[in-house]
Amino acid sequence: MPMALSTRRMATTAVINGERLWSALMAMAEIGRTPAGGVRRLALSDEDRRARDLLVEWLREAGCAVRVDDLGNIYGRRDGDDAGATAVVCGSHLDTVPTGGRFDGVLGVLAALEAVRAMRDADLRTHRPVEVVCWTNEEGVRFAPAMLASGVVCGRFTVDEAYAARDQDGRTFGEELRRIGYLGKPEHRMRSAAAYVELHVEQGPTLEEEGAQVGIVEGVEGISWGWADVTGRAAHAGPTPVGDRRDALVAASRIVLALRALCAELPGVRATVGRCEVVPNAINVIPGAVRLSTDLRARTADLLATASRRLEEVCAAVARDDRVEVRAREFWQSPPTPFHPAVLSAVADAARDLGHTTLRLWAGAGHDAKYVADRHPAGMIFVPSSGGLSHNEAEWTSKDDCVRGASVLLGAVLRLAAA
C-alpha cells in the first residue's frame, strides 16, 4: 500500500509548532480584546477587518495564494503536486459574539494556517492542494442567520439574502462587506472540495469530563425550534379559588418539566426551554398566557421526529389536565447532518498515530462544517473547552489542547490530501 506508507512518512515530517500556533492565537486575541480578557470581533466590523488583514498577511507569508469571494470568505491555497485535483479545505471563522472568547472559531483558522506553515517548514508536497478558509459571519449575532456565508457557498441561501441582512443599526451585510474592503469575486468561491475538516473547541464539557484529548465529531445534531403558546385565563390572584384557576404558568411549568423528563425517556435527545414570556406578568394576576420556546436536538431524523411528537403529546396532555389551550408549532428545523466516514477515518487515524485519547461525539451546535457537509465530504475535530464554557469572555482551551487539535488537523489533512 504505497499510499498509506506515503501518508505516514508525511505525517511524521510536518510538525505543528506549538509556540507559533499559541503566539498567533494570542496575537489575534488582541484584535477586539475586551477588558475582561475576552474578544469582541463582530462580523464585518473594523476589528474583523484587522483580523482578516493579519490572516491574509500570514497566509501570504506561508506561501499561500490568497483569494476572497463575494461573501468575503478568505481562502489561502497551497498548491499540491496535482494542480487539477480538488483541494482539501480546512478552516473556521474569525468573528465572535459580543462578549466572546479567544478560541471559538479562530482556533480552527489559525490551526489550519499553522498546518500549512508546518508543511512549508518541512518543504512537504501534498498530492492535492490544501486550502485554508475563513468563513464570514459564522456567529450570526450581527447579521442573522448564523453561518450565513458558508450557507450561501453551499446553496442554503442566496447571495442577495446575505447582502440584505441588516444589523441592529440598519447597516447591511453587503454595505459592510464593501466598506471593510472584503467584497471579492463570485468565481473565487469554493466550488468543490475533496474534503473539509474543521477544528473547533467543543463548547460543552464532555471531552473534559470523559478525560479525552480529542473529539472525533460524527455529525451535527438535528435541531427543531418552536413555540408552545399556552392560553389560560387571567384572573385576580386574591379572590379566585384554586379549583377555578386556568393558570397558564402552572401549565407551562408542567411542559418545562415534561420536556426535561423527555430527555431521560429518549436518550440522545436534548430538550431546552430557553424563553418564557408571561402575560400579564403581574404579581397579583394569575397568568393568562405564557409563550415558551422549545429547542429539541437529536442525532437522527427519526429521533428528532419522535421528540417532536412527544412534545405535541405533552402539550395535549397538559392542555387537557390544566384546562388551558396549548398550541405547539415548529418554526425552524435543521436536519441531523452526519459527517463523512472518510473524513472521520482520517481524523481518527491521525489521532491514533499521535497517541491521543479520543472520543466520538456529536456537535450540538451549528458550525460552518454543517453546511459544507451538504455538498462535500466534511468532518470536525473537537478539543476540550474548559468547563464547557463558550460564547463567554472566560472561554478557555489550554495550549496543549490547541496543539493536539492542530496536530490531528494536520495529520488528517495530509492523509486526505495524499489520496
Which one among 13, 34, 293, 300 touches a second copy, defined by CB under 8 A? 293
Q: Least separation, in Å, of the C-beta of 284 and a second copy? A: 6
CB count in 10 Å sphere of residue 309: 10
Binding mask 369-408 for a second copy (x = CB under 8 A): -------------------xxxx-----------------
Q: Least separation, in Å, of the C-beta of 303 and a second copy? A: 14
Considering only residues 252 through 281, tell me which ones interact with a second copy, judged by CB under 8 A: 252-254, 256-257, 260, 263-264, 270, 272-278, 281
The answer to the question of residue 246 lying near a second copy (CB under 8 A) is no
CB count in 10 Å sphere of residue 316: 12
The answer to the question of residue 242 lying near a second copy (CB under 8 A) is yes
Strands 358-363 and 214-220: parallel
**If you ran DSSP here, which 8-state letter would residue 247 be given?**
-
**Nearest-angstrom CA–CA distance, 90 and 88:** 7
**Nearest-angstrom CA–CA distance, 368 and 328:** 29
Nearest to a second copy of 356, 391 (CB atom): 391
Q: Where are the beta strands (DSSP E) in 244-353?
A: 270-272, 276-279, 285-286, 289-298, 325-334, 337-338
Angle between the 18-29 and 106-121 helix axes, to the nearest 10 degrees? 140
Q: Least separation, in Å, of the C-beta of 391 and a second copy? A: 7
Residue 127 annotated as lining a ligand binding site = no
Scanning 266-340, the segments in alpha helix (DSSP H) are 301-322
Nearest to a second copy of 10, 252 (CB atom): 252
Of the candidate spans 69-77, 151-159, 199-207, 338-346, the one that interacts with a second copy by CB under 8 A turns out to be 199-207
Peptide bond into 145 cis (omega under 30): yes
Q: Least separation, in Å, of the C-beta of 259 and a second copy? A: 9
The answer to the question of residue 300 lying near a second copy (CB under 8 A) is no
Contact predicate 88/219, CB 8 Å: no
The answer to the question of residue 250 lying near a second copy (CB under 8 A) is yes
The answer to the question of residue 148 lying near a second copy (CB under 8 A) is no
Q: What are phi and psi of 343, to 5 degrees?
A: -70, -45
Q: Which helix (H) or strand (E) element contains residue 227? A: strand 222-231
Q: Least separation, in Å, of the C-beta of 399 and a second copy? A: 22
The answer to the question of residue 317 lying near a second copy (CB under 8 A) is no
Cell numbers given for 36: 475582561
Contact predicate 93/109, CB 8 Å: yes
Nearest to a second copy of 85, 365 (CB atom): 365
Contact predicate 333/223, CB 8 Å: yes
Three state DSSP letters for 124-151: CCCCCCEEEEEECCCCCCCCCCCCHHHH
Q: Is 64 exposed, middle or buried, given 0-12, 13-18 or 19+ CB atoms closer than 10 A?
A: buried
Q: Least separation, in Å, of the C-beta of 46 and a second copy? A: 26
Which one among 2, 187, 211, 284 touches a second copy, defined by CB under 8 A? 284
Q: Least separation, in Å, of the C-beta of 9 and a second copy? A: 36
The answer to the question of residue 364 lying near a second copy (CB under 8 A) is yes
Residue 104 annotated as lining a ligand binding site = yes
Instruction: Let me know the angle formed at the C-alpha of 400 by 394 and 402, rounded to the nearest 5 degrees.
Output: 65
Which one among 237, 305, 317, 354 touches a second copy, defined by CB under 8 A? 237
Binding residues for Zn(2+), by number, are: 93, 104, 139, 200, 391
Binding residues, by number, are: 93, 104, 139, 200, 391
Where do contacts with a second copy occur on this chain (CB under 8 A)? 202-206, 209, 221, 223, 225, 235-242, 244, 247, 249-250, 252-254, 256-257, 260, 263-264, 270, 272-278, 281-287, 290, 293, 295, 297, 363-366, 388-391
